């Protein structure tokens, strides 16, 4: 029997929200595994900076400055990708925002903003990507970052888990609908990682250690530690994994 194939050579991957954080770590790992990557974000300077960083390492990377929350513009952006680069073999739904408020505190506008960006945008982009893969005969991969917050809940953070649980449903709906085309859909549920958005929390002298203490590994995750799961699910080694949520949290969500 041949060894499992974890190579992404010759593949084109679109990773949303990949100018920094977990998205950039995934893009970097895909590029190191042989893929060409499309870096996405709203901030042109940040996107171009990420592309230049990968290019300086000898990797193939292209910019896509797009606000994924502008739902009516998604199709035009995706068509432009196809025209200029071809149909992506891999889509990673990574973009997410968080509004840490209780339902009583959250306004309707805040609820709609979070649901549109964290859930609806991923649903629509997955629809575009999966249909394009099917039409092109590509046995593609769709990987969606959910969260351990999609399985758990806590006071004062009511809307985010709703969207993330919705993404879990999206993972399975895509798996069922597009599996017949050889397209797999899986999710990654990250725990607490020291990304740019979490740095202040991790550095807090009280809350940072408290979060670490709840984890069986006794620490926060580092962004590069998401890479193995992301590469695996995108690779031929995961060809029979479909509709699965892979938790990457150091064991945080299994303790009480």
Catalytic positions are 160
Vertex 130, ends 126 and 136: CA angle to 5°?
A: 150
Q: Locate tokens 């920094």: which residue?
A: 20
Q: Are 95 and 24 in contact (CB under 8 A)?
A: no
Calpha distance 186→93 (Å, rounded): 11
Could you tell me the two tokens for 174? 């895509």
Residue 181 burial by CB count (10 A; 0-12/13-18/19+): exposed, middle or buried?
middle
Kindly report the length of the chain: 256
Calpha distance 63→8 (Å, rounded): 19
Cβ-proximal residues to 256 (8 Å cutoff; 6+ apart), any chain: none
Q: Locate tokens 């998604």: which residue?
A: 74
- What are the start-end ranges of the H helices in 194-250? 199-203, 207-213, 227-234
């Amino acid at each position: 029997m041949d060894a499992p194939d974890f190579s992404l050579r010759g593949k084109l991957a679109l990773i949303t929200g990949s100018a920094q954080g977990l998205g950039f770590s995934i893009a970097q790992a895909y590029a190191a595994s042989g893929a060409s990557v499309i870096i996405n974000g709203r901030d042109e300077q940040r996107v171009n900076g990420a592309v230049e960083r990968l290019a300086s390492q000898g990797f193939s990377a292209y910019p896509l400055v797009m606000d994924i929350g502008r739902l009516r513009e998604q199709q035009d952006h995706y068509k432009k990708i196809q025209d200029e680069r071809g149909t992506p073999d891999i889509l990673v739904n990574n973009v997410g925002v968080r509004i840490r408020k209780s339902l009583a505190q959250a306004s309707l506008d805040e609820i709609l903003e979070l649901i549109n960006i964290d859930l609806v945008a991923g649903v629509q982009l997955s629809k575009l990507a999966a249909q394009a893969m099917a039409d092109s005969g590509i046995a593609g991969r769709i990987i969606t970052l959910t969260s351990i917050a999609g399985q758990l809940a806590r006071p004062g953070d009511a809307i985010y888990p709703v969207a993330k649980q919705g993404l879990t449903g999206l993972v399975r709906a895509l798996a069922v609908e597009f599996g017949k085309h050889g397209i797999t859909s899986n999710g990654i549920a990250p725990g607490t990682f020291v990304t740019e958005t979490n740095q202040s929390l991790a550095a807090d002298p009280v809350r940072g250690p408290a979060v670490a203490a709840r984890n069986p590994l006794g620490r926060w995750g580092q962004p590069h530690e998401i890479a193995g799961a992301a590469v695996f699910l995108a690779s031929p080694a995961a060809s029979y994994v479909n509709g699965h949520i892979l938790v990457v949290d150091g064991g945080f969500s299994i303790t009480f």
